[in-house]
Amino acid sequence: MRLQDFILSEKRSDRIKRHVLFWAFWGFYFGAVRHFSPIMYAALGHFPNPLQSLLEAVLMLLPQMVLAYPLMYFVLPRYVFTGKYIRAIGWFMVFLLLTLTANALVFIYIPWYKIIWSPGIKLFGGDNSFTYKLFLAYLASLQGAVTGAALAASFKLFKHFYAKNLRNLQLQKENTETQLQLLTAQVHPHFLFNTLNNIYSKAQTESPGSAKMIMELSHILRYVLDEGRQTRVPLENELQMIKDYINLEKMRYDDTLDLHFSFPSNTQNIYIAPLLLLPFVENCFKHGTSKMLRQPWINLKAELNGETLFVKIMNGKKEGVKKAGGRKGTGIENVKQRLDLLYKDKYDLQISEDEEVFVVNLKIELVRMQPSAIVQTTTPEKKYA
C-alpha cells in the first residue's frame, strides 16, 4: 500500500495502525527526552533506568490522549473546519481544563512513593496542602499535554487539507473531461438556438402549446450550456431552471398531474453547484408519473434556513412495481459523486422507497457570497436570443 493510500484510508484497521504508530513514536520520543534530561541526571547522579523512563512516558501520554481525541474528533471537524474559531478556542479551553483536572487528581491520589521504579518520590504524597499539591499536579499534567495534542491535531489538519486538495484536483480533472466531452458531443449553441427560434416562430401560429414547450426547452438548454459549466451559480437561477423543467413536463399531462412545489423566495447571494437538483426531479417524471396510469402526483418542497438548503421530493409510483433499490441510475450516481467531491461532510442525502411512494431528502450546506467574489453567471432569460 502506498503511503498516500495509508494516510487517507478510512478502513478501521488502517486507522488503528495510524494511531498506534503515532503514539508509539511520540511515546518513544517523549521517553527518550526524559531519559536523557540533564535535570534528571543532576537529581539522580546518573541517567534513570530505560524501563523507568519508558513507563513514566506512558503515564505522561495519558493526559495527552485525553485531550487529543476530543480536539481531533470534535473541535476540529465541528468548529475549525467550519470556520467557527471563537467556539473552537472555547471548547479547547474546556477540554484542556477538564483533562488537567482529571489527571491532576490521578497524580495526587496515586501513591508514587510505593511504585518500584520511583522510590522516594513524595511530591504528591507529602504533608503539603491540597492546594499546593493540586498546583504541582496541574504542572505535571500540563507537561507535554498541549504539545502532544497539538501534534496529533496537526496530523489531523494535514490529512484534512491534503484530502481536500486531492478532491479539488480530482474535481478539476473531471470538470475538464466533462467540458471536453461537451465540446465534442454538443451541437454549436448558435446553430441550436437559431434552429429553435425558427421552429418556435412557426409553432406560434400552428401549435401554441408546442411553442410554449419549445420556449421552456430553450431556457433549460441555455442554462445547461451557459451556467452548467460554472463551479457555483446563484441558487435562484438553479431553482428557476427546475421550474422551467417542471413547466415543460406539466404540458404532457394537461390536468391529470397532481403537482405541488414550493421554493424559497429569499435566496440572495446564496450559491450552489449547478445541475445538482435536476436529476432528482427528472426521475420523478421518468420513473414515477410516467408509469402511473391513474392519478400521478409529485410533491416538491425546498426550504432555506440560513445557508442550509432542505429539499424534499416525493412522487407516486405504480403499484406492484418492485423496489428499485435506490434507483441506481447514472444521473443519481453522478450527483452522489459530485456531492462527495463538492460538499463532503456538508450534505446528507436520504433516498427511501415503499410500494407506492418514492422519497428523496437532501440537506446541503451552501455558501453565501457577494457576486463580485465569483465568476459572473448568466441569469436565465424568459426570451430567445
Tens of pLDDT, residue by residue over 256-281, are 788 889 999 888 889 999 888 988 98
Give me the sheet containing 347-353, strands edge to edge: 258-262, 297-305, 308-316, 357-365, 347-353
CA distances (Å), origin 88, targets 41, 240, 261, 341: 40, 38, 39, 25
Whether 179 is covered by a domain: the verdict is: no
Answer positive or negative: Cα dihedral of 52, 57, 60, 61: negative
Are 96 and 209 found together in one domain?
Answer: no
Q: What average pLDDT does range 332-345 have in this prediction?
A: 85
Q: What average pLDDT does range 285-294 have in this prediction?
A: 68
CA distances (Å), origin 240, targets 219, 233, 303: 9, 12, 15
Residue 116 domain boundaries:
3-166
Q: What's the pLDDT at 378?
A: 43
| Ramachandran angles phi, psi of 258, nearest 5° | -90, 100
pLDDT band at 303 (very low <50, low <70, confident <90, very high): very high
Are 341 and 233 found together in one domain?
Answer: yes
Q: CA-to-CA distance for 136 and 123, rounded, in angstroms?
A: 8
Whether 18 is covered by a domain: the verdict is: yes
Q: Mean pLDDT for the chain?
A: 76
pLDDT band at 4 (very low <50, low <70, confident <90, very high): low
pLDDT band at 305 (very low <50, low <70, confident <90, very high): very high
Whether 180 is covered by a domain: the verdict is: no
Are 105 and 237 found together in one domain?
Answer: no
pTM of the predicted model over 0.85: no
Q: Is the pLDDT of residue 214 over 90?
A: no
Residues 343, 349 contacting (CB under 8 angstroms): no
Give per-residue pLDDT as tens, 16-31. 888 888 888 887 877 7
Among the ranges given (71-80, 171-180, 223-232), the one the predictor scored with the smallest mean pLDDT: 171-180
Whether 384 is covered by a domain: the verdict is: no
Are 87 and 124 found together in one domain?
Answer: yes
Q: Is the pLDDT of residue 191 over 70?
A: no
Q: CA-to-CA distance for 177 and 171, rounded, in angstroms?
A: 10
Residues 183, 215 contacting (CB under 8 angstroms): no
Give per-residue pLDDT as tens, 116-149. 555 445 555 555 667 776 777 777 667 666 777 7
Are 47 and 162 found together in one domain?
Answer: yes
Are 293 and 224 found together in one domain?
Answer: yes
Q: Is the pLDDT of residue 167 over 50?
A: yes
